[in-house]
Amino acid sequence: MGAFMNFAVLASGHGGNLQAIINAVKKKKIKAHLKLVVSDRADAYALVRARKANISSVSINPQDFPDREAFDRKVLEHFKNFDIDFVVLAGYMRLLGRRFIKQYPHKILNIHPALLPAFKGVRAIREALAYGVKVTGVSVHFVVEEMDSGAIIMQQAVPISSRDTAKSLATKIHRVEHKIYPQAIDWLARRKLRVVGRRVFLR
C-alpha cells in the first residue's frame, strides 16, 4: 500500500469528533498521520485538543481576508507545507470554495447529523425533531461545492423516541458519529473507497 497518508482536520468548535479522530489515530484504528488541525476561530476548543495531543495547529481568521478564495488559499498554503494528502471536516462551519475542492477531489470528508439527503444544513437535529420523523441518523460524505450534497460513504440510523429533546438526540447522534467517522477516514486513508458517479463502493 505504501507509506501512510497525511491528513488535516478543519474544525470550528468544541472538537468532539476531532477528539474521536485523535483517539482512533493513537489506537491505530486510522492508519494515517494527523499532521495539522486548522480552525477559523481562535477560541475553538478543537485547538486545545490538538495542542494536548501534540498535533500542529493554527487558527486563521476569515476577517483578515478580502474573500473566501483568499482565505482558502491561506489554508491550502498550510496544507502544502505539511504535505497533506486528504482533509477531514469536523464541525467546520464554513463552506469550501471551488478552488479548494478541486485541490482534493474525493479527498475531503464531512460528517452530517442526519440521513442525507434529508435535513441538510446546520439545524439538522432540531429540524428532524420538529418534523416528527421516527428515525434520523448520521451520514459521512465527500465534500462538493453544494452543501451536504456529495456522494455518501456510509450512514447509520438513530431512532428518535417520544422523550427525546434536541439535547438528548444530539448526544445519541454524536455517539454514532464518533464511532463511524474514524472508520470512514481509515477507509479513505487505506485507499479502500471507489467512487462511481454518486455511488461509493468499498474495495
What pLDDT, in 10s, does the model give residues 95-141?
A: 999 999 999 999 999 999 999 999 999 999 999 999 999 999 999 99
What is residue 2's predicted lDDT score, i.e. its pLDDT? 62
Cα separation, 15 vs 44, in Å, equals: 8
pLDDT band, residue 3 (cuts 50/70/90): confident
Is residue 76 within a helix (H) or strand (E), and if so which, with residue range? Answer: helix 68-81
From 33, 106, 112, 141, active-site residue? 112
Cα separation, 21 vs 8, in Å, equals: 11
Phi, psi (degrees; rounded to nearest 5) at 10: -105, 125
Is 112 catalytic? The answer is yes
SS3 130: helix
Domains in the chain: boundaries: 5-202
Cα separation, 190 vs 3, in Å, equals: 10
* pTM of this structure: 0.96
Provide, for the chain, the percentages of residues in helix, strand and coil under a 3-state DSSP scheme, each rounded to the nearest 5. 35, 25, 40
CATH of domain 5-202: 3.40.50.170
Contact 4, 85 (CB under 8 A): no
* In the block, residue with C-alpha cell 450512514: 155
DSSP letters, 80-100, are HHTT--EEEESS--SPPPHHH
Both ends of the chain: CA-CA distance in Å?
A: 13
pLDDT band, residue 43 (cuts 50/70/90): very high
pLDDT tens for 134-182 read 999 999 999 999 999 999 999 999 999 999 999 999 999 999 999 999 9
